[in-house]
Structure 1
């Protein structure tokens, strides 16, 4: 871990909406945040109930955001404002092709405020079939010294 890494508390809220349903998932836990030049990185581990832990690394650069997950699932999803990106999602149930069209990206660094925030609004198409609207809100704040 880099020397400028900070211990943070992470909250990830993902909202998925399609024609007939809304789904909200929330994850909370400890993580680390560090920056190198104009790149900022947030790492944390998800602990799903039905599978092995998933390590998540969110890399934020001025022009794009990358979310890499490894462990119970394998994927690297890239978000670029008003652009479509593609990737494969490797899951225990098989591989899924994903197309992501990023509508909105907003980032507030932990260096600018006491709470960092990443907001992404995007459309995702899974296996060329189902397109859903997604909103991802990732907030993180430095652990208080106690």
Structure 2
């Protein structure tokens, strides 16, 4: 970890919607936040009830967000407003092709406020079949020294 890394508490909420269903998931984990040039990086490890831990690294550059997950699942998803991106999602149940179209991308750094925030609103199509609306809200704040 770089010397400017800060210990943070991460709150991640995702919402998936299709015609008649709405599913939300929340994760709260300790993590690390650091800046390298104009790139800001947030890392944390999810500990799902089932399966292996999942390491998550979120890289934020101006108008570009990349989420890389490894461990229980393997994927790298890229978000750019008004751009469609594609990637593969490797899961214990098989590989899935994902297309992501980002409607909205907002980021507020810890350098701008006491609480950092990433908000993504996007459409995701899995295996060329089902398209669902997704919203991801991630907040993080520096751990207080106790």
Q: Name the TM tier (shorter chain).
A: over 0.9
Q: Is the 8 A contact 2:13 2:27 kept in 1?
A: yes
Q: Is the 8 A contact 2:41 2:59 kept in 1?
A: yes
2:89 matched residue in structure 1: 89
- What TM-score do the two structures reach when normalised by structure 1? 0.99
Task: Name the SS for the 2:52 alignment partner.
Answer: coil
Distance 1:18 1:45 in 2: 28
Distance 1:92 1:117 in 2: 30
Structure 2, unaligned stretches of length 5 or more? none
2:101 matched residue in structure 1: 101
Residue-pair matches, total: 146
- What does the per-residue CA deviation read over 1:16-64, in whole Å, with 9 as the maximum and x for residues that have no partner? 0001100000000100000001000000000111100000000000020
- What does the per-residue CA deviation read over 1:43-89, in whole Å, with 9 as the maximum and x for residues that have no partner? 00001111000000000000200000000000000000100000000
2:48 matched residue in structure 1: 48
Task: Name the SS for the 1:82 alignment partner.
Answer: coil
1:124 matched residue in structure 2: 124
- What TM-score do the two structures reach when normalised by structure 2? 0.99
Distance 1:106 1:13 in 2: 15
Structure 1 position 92, deviation (Å): 0.1
Task: Name the SS for the 1:131 alignment partner.
Answer: strand
Q: Is the 8 A contact 2:17 2:132 kept in 1?
A: yes
Distance 2:138 2:42 in 1: 10
Structure 1 runs (4+) greater than 4 angstroms displaced:
none
Q: Is the 8 A contact 2:63 2:105 kept in 1?
A: no
2:115 matched residue in structure 1: 115
Distance 1:54 1:138 in 2: 16
2:18 matched residue in structure 1: 18
Matches within 5 A, 1:68-87: 68-87=68-87
Q: Does 1:38 align with 2:38?
A: yes
Matches within 5 A, 1:56-71: 56-71=56-71
